[in-house]
């Protein structure tokens, strides 16, 4: 046993009712108040203090701008659990700049093709056709 290990006394009762006191090893050394005095606890940081991307804009889904004439100014791609996703920079009919997120394969295919041909900015109107997002 090491010198730093401390013990606590545990009272055990014998069959005759007498008290049997013996040292029991604690799982961790006992700390006294004086051992912690003067030590300053490190303040835990917040996740909101970190990151490099702009989080002030609210990201929309395509259905939130469906059937509106919008202007697409740019986009970026990210890989997700279910394939590629596009983060599309859009200016709405009211002049609001928003980011729209979609995994629609027809939309992503057209965005990639337009970028390859340096066609931005582009006008678009998104709507559903069955389960797919289409545009005109």
Domain boundaries, the chain: 56-135
- pLDDT surpassing 50 at residue 19: yes
Extract the tokens encoding 105.
């394969």
Sequence-ordered alpha helix ranges (H) in the chain? 33-36, 105-116
Extract the tokens encoding 108.
């992503």
- pLDDT surpassing 70 at residue 23: no
Q: Are strands 70-80 and 122-124 parallel, antiparallel or unpaired?
A: antiparallel
Q: Where are the beta strands (DSSP E) in the chain?
A: 7-13, 19-25, 59-61, 70-80, 83-91, 97-102, 122-124, 126-129, 132-135
Confidence of residue 2 (pLDDT cuts 50, 70, 90): very low
Confidence of residue 12 (pLDDT cuts 50, 70, 90): low
Give the predicted TM-score (pTM) of the model.
Answer: 0.59
Instruction: Work out the angle at residue 116's Cα, subtended by the Cα atoms of residues 118 and 64, and round it to the nearest 5 degrees.
Output: 80
């Amino acid at each position: 046993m090491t010198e730093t290990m401390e013990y606590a006394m545990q009272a055990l009762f014998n069959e005759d009712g007498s008290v049997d006191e013996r040292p029991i090893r604690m799982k961790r050394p006992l700390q006294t108040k004086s051992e912690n005095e003067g030590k300053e606890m490190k303040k835990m940081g917040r996740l909101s203090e970190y990151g490099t991307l702009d989080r002030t804009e609210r990201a929309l889904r395509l259905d939130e701008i469906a059937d509106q004439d919008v202007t697409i100014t740019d986009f970026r791609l990210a890989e997700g659990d279910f394939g590629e996703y596009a983060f599309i920079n859009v200016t709405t009919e009211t002049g609001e700049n928003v980011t729209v997120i979609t995994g629609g394969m027809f939309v992503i295919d057209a965005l990639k093709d337009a970028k390859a041909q340096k066609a931005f900015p582009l006008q678009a109107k998104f709507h559903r056709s069955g389960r797919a997002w289409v545009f005109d």
